[in-house]
Structure 1
Amino acid sequence: MTTDLVPDVDFVQLLFTDVAGRLKTLEVPTARWAEVRDSGWTLDGSVLLGYGDPEHSDLRLVPDPSTYVRRPWDTVSGRTVGMVFCDVVDTAGRPFAADPRAVLRKAVEASEARGQRPVFGVEAEFYLLRPGAPGTAGEPADGAGYWDLSVDEEADEVCRDIAEALARMGFTVDGHHHEVCAGQRELVFRHGDALTTADRLLLLKHTARVMARRRGLSAVFMPKPLAHLYGNALHVHVSLAGTEAPSKALFHDGDDTDGMSALFRSSLAGVLDHAPALTALGNPTVNSYKRLVPASGTPVHRSWARHNRSTAFKVVGDNAVPGSLRLEMRSPDPAANPHLLFAGVLAAFADGQDRDLKLSEACEEPADQLDPAALATRGILPLPTDLPSALRALDEDGTVREALGTLTTGAFVRNSTADWAAWHRVVTAWEIERYADSV
């Protein structure tokens, strides 16, 4: 959409994201669109930061008309709604330091200054659940398994609704399939530039929730919604292409056994070096660490592989197709703020390149099945196993902290620490059952 057009809808939702990665919005009548597009809208910085801060209380939303989409579903009363992502600026008109989209845009610009254009893709897992007992996330909407063709198509219809809605918003939907556990699904859309992919992941989550609710189900992206089943992963795929035309696949080297260029190896070494801090960004909630446990189908060590699917960092792609070679990060979960996670990854790439870090040997067997001596011999360290450990790693990582900025990092750590403190004030049903009559 160009800036001189008026949206053909009744209302426009101005979208932005807070530090935690939650979509926020202000909705305006279309009659106000031109004024808001040109002048923006005043915003209290606490909405982004998660806490009041007089120094950042007077910000402004500025719509990015290039991101406009018409929402492909109407309201219950038949009204039409458009959606547009906004940038957040301060009183001087500069990008707000804790606007996640601004943080990622800055990281992309730094990468492009190196002649490297980031390409990101995501695979987000989620559960489709029916209403369950009070205090639970619900019950799986089907009993199917990994890639199963189910005869009960109710949950399939929700995925079709999601795919069609996303396609009408301009996504290229590659496909959807059943994941390992009952009720668990995955929908994949086409990779793209970093900012577009991060924005679209948030739209995917919102659209999935709306489409599921319209059929009486819930689309649940929390990392570990059901104690007895696998958690939800967010697999992040990333590669670097040259900025000059014709663009070159910078991660590929046809003479290398694994097809990996020296740039890819140093970039991956940077990610392994900064993996603890990246874990805080990729696994930002108390619930995230109910998923990141050994023998749970989830990687818990700082290792990489070319063929081992249980590793945290996997090199994927066909050596015969240079542009397909990429890094797949398998430890993050859908609670992550993709803008901040992507920015952290690009900072780790750059640090690995600048220090010419040497990549360790691949680990082609499950690392959590190796004994401590074997792990030590290979130099394989664990990822953080709880939120406080991950937050300490983020706070102590100068490279990632600089990429996010002091204000963003401080807000992120502050909010996640508050969640951890709140969790420790909760008395769970498990504790009551275990201790009420026995101590």
Structure 2
Amino acid sequence: MNPFPTTSTNTSPTDVDHIQLLFTDVAGRLKTLEIAASRWNQVQNGGWTMDSSVLLGQGGPGHGDLRLVPDPDTFVVRPWRTPSGRTVGLAFCDVLDDRGNPFAADPRARLRHAVAGSEARGQRPVFGVEAEFYLLRSCDTRPQGPPVDTGGYWDLVEQEQADEVCRDTGDALEAMGFTVLGHHHEVCAGQREIVFRHGDALVTADRLLLLKHTARTMARRRGMKAVFMPKPLAHLYGNALHVHVSLRGTDGEAAPLFHGADDPQDMSALFRQSLAGVLEHADALTALGNPTVNSYKRLVPGSGTPVHRSWARHNRSTAFKVVGDGAEPGSTRLELRSPDPAANPHLLFTAILTAFGDGQDRGLKLSEACEEPTDTLGEAERAVRGIVPLPTDLPTALRALEENPTVREALGDLTTRAWLEASRADWNAWHRLVTPWEVDRYLDAV
């Protein structure tokens, strides 16, 4: 029996007890201000003032106070109650500056601007995501416990605790208006994936953040921990965030623009230019899709993860894969297989659309597909085919972003500077850390 009945579409913000007003900082962390529902109309009309450092991660002259203004179209009722039985609503907010304009470093505003640019070309972006995560047993003595089951890829397992978390999560998401397509066991013990229906860019990015929050909540209610960290367990594969994207026309027909009926790989000329743009900007995209020190523990040769700038139609180890059934034109799309769940989806989607537009504007030519795992090719052969390594550590990726004027312009100077400063602070903190591995290896050996 579904413990989370579908919320009525007629539910008003004033029908709940409290409302969590949601927004994200530059890093993609979900932030909130909670208000009593009785204050909804006042906050919707007048907003709520907050310090810009909440978004930027640091203060700065000239940024001043910002204003949160809830977007009523995003309001949903959280289908689980508080421990004391209260009902809570959720609504995403726009972040405005002191002049009432969209704040330059609001990730949702950057994505909305990028979508507007695509629509001006007659192209409506459609995004879908597949977020992998681990379900670990709670442990009082250390941050992470062991996986909750011993299953493997798409296995039917007898230990149903993890299935129950996925069922709880799926039911809760359905009650909030998602269309949950299914869930399955991923490659490693305790690793899962829940997939919801694709949609508009902003909706999909918002919903990915709600999925992560909901999965963590449902896991905790059953004495487990849902972990979206890119590489939480050294001996097992990491968590990926596969991003699917296509373009449709903005007219009434909304025709798929990526399908090419006469192309041997079912790709339109527009798709080829868009993919060429993504390849052109792949290093900067890596900084946004793999934003933590830990991200690069997942992206290592021989692990089945993409470590080279290449694309394919059938090779699942490539960074960029063309997906779709030629008999269904609407299914033709690009899958980015490198990103991980630590990414800020709003900024990553912004950069992808920017790369698409740049490839189209410059008429970039697409290289040949690489259907073999790039790890099996010699360095000389990769060089002949124009296949080069993606960034292998955070500083290299950040340098690529800093040196990419096209992506920087799309993110905005303030967003880019805040991103770089926060990421480099993370790297410096890691770089100063002396790990147990180093002590074991070098204490008595050097």
SS at match of 1:147: coil
Who is 1:9 aligned against? Answer: 16
Q: CA deviation at 1:29?
A: 0.4
SS at match of 2:199: coil
Who is 1:340 aligned against? Answer: 347
Who is 1:49 aligned against? Answer: 56
SS at match of 1:66: helix
SS at match of 2:62: helix
Write the letter of the residue equivalent to 1:360.
Answer: S
Who is 1:314 aligned against? Answer: 321
Q: CA deviation at 1:265?
A: 0.2
394 and 266 in structure 1: CA distance in 2 versus 1, 3 angstrom threshold: same
Are the counterparts in 2 of residues 302 and 382 from structure 1 also a CA contact under 8 Å? Answer: yes
Q: CA deviation at 1:437?
A: 2.0
Q: CA deviation at 1:431?
A: 1.1
Q: Does 1:89 align with 2:96?
A: yes
SS at match of 2:348: helix
- Structure 1: gaps (5+ residues): none
Who is 2:425 aligned against? Answer: 418
Q: CA deviation at 1:133?
A: 7.7
Q: CA deviation at 1:2?
A: 9.9
Who is 1:373 aligned against? Answer: 380
Q: Does 1:259 align with 2:262?
A: no
Looking at structure 2, the residues matched to 22 and 279 of structure 1 have their Cα atoms a distance apart, in angstroms, of 18
Q: Does 1:390 align with 2:406?
A: no
Q: CA deviation at 1:214?
A: 0.3
Write the letter of the residue equivalent to 1:376.
Answer: A
Looking at structure 1, the residues matched to 287 and 116 of structure 2 have their Cα atoms a distance apart, in angstroms, of 23
Are the counterparts in 2 of residues 146 and 180 from structure 1 also a CA contact under 8 Å? Answer: yes
Q: Percent identity?
A: 74
Who is 1:241 aligned against? Answer: 248
Q: CA deviation at 1:11?
A: 0.3
Q: CA deviation at 1:435?
A: 1.4
Who is 1:80 aligned against? Answer: 87
227 and 133 in structure 1: CA distance in 2 versus 1, 3 angstrom threshold: farther
Are the counterparts in 2 of residues 129 and 218 from structure 1 also a CA contact under 8 Å? Answer: yes
Are the counterparts in 2 of residues 119 and 191 from structure 1 also a CA contact under 8 Å? Answer: yes
Structure 1 residue aligned with 2:362, among 325, 350, 355? 355
Write the letter of the residue equivalent to 1:337.
Answer: N
Looking at structure 2, the residues matched to 89 and 376 of structure 1 have their Cα atoms a distance apart, in angstroms, of 47
Q: Does 1:432 align with 2:404?
A: no
Are the counterparts in 1 of residues 13 and 19 from structure 2 also a CA contact under 8 Å? Answer: no
Structure 2 residue aligned with 1:188, among 195, 199, 209? 195
Q: Which moves more between the two structures, 367-376 or 100-109?
A: 367-376
Q: Alpha-carbon deviations, 1:54-112, whole Å to 9, x = none?
A: 32131000000000010010001101100000000001100000000000000000000
Looking at structure 2, the residues matched to 154 and 3 of structure 1 have their Cα atoms a distance apart, in angstroms, of 34
Are the counterparts in 1 of residues 64 and 98 from structure 2 also a CA contact under 8 Å? Answer: no
Q: Which runs of 4+ in 1 moved over 2 A?
A: 1-7, 131-138
Write the letter of the residue equivalent to 1:415.
Answer: A
- Structure 2: gaps (5+ residues): 1-7
5 and 175 in structure 1: CA distance in 2 versus 1, 3 angstrom threshold: closer
Who is 1:216 aligned against? Answer: 223
Write the letter of the residue equivalent to 1:284.
Answer: P
Who is 2:277 aligned against? Answer: 270
Looking at structure 1, the residues matched to 432 and 138 of structure 2 have their Cα atoms a distance apart, in angstroms, of 27
Are the counterparts in 1 of residues 152 and 189 from structure 2 also a CA contact under 8 Å? Answer: yes
Structure 2 residue aligned with 1:159, among 137, 161, 166? 166
Q: Which moves more between the two structures, 48-57 or 248-257?
A: 48-57
User: What TM-score, normalized by structure 2, do the two folds share?
Assistant: 0.97
Who is 1:302 aligned against? Answer: 309
Q: Alpha-carbon deviations, 1:16-66, whole Å to 9, x = none?
A: 000000000000001111101111100110000001113213100000000
- Between the two proteins, the alignment pairs up a number of residues equal to 439
Are the counterparts in 1 of residues 118 and 124 from structure 2 also a CA contact under 8 Å? Answer: yes
Are the counterparts in 2 of residues 43 and 58 from structure 1 also a CA contact under 8 Å? Answer: yes
Write the letter of the residue equivalent to 1:156.
Answer: D
118 and 40 in structure 1: CA distance in 2 versus 1, 3 angstrom threshold: same
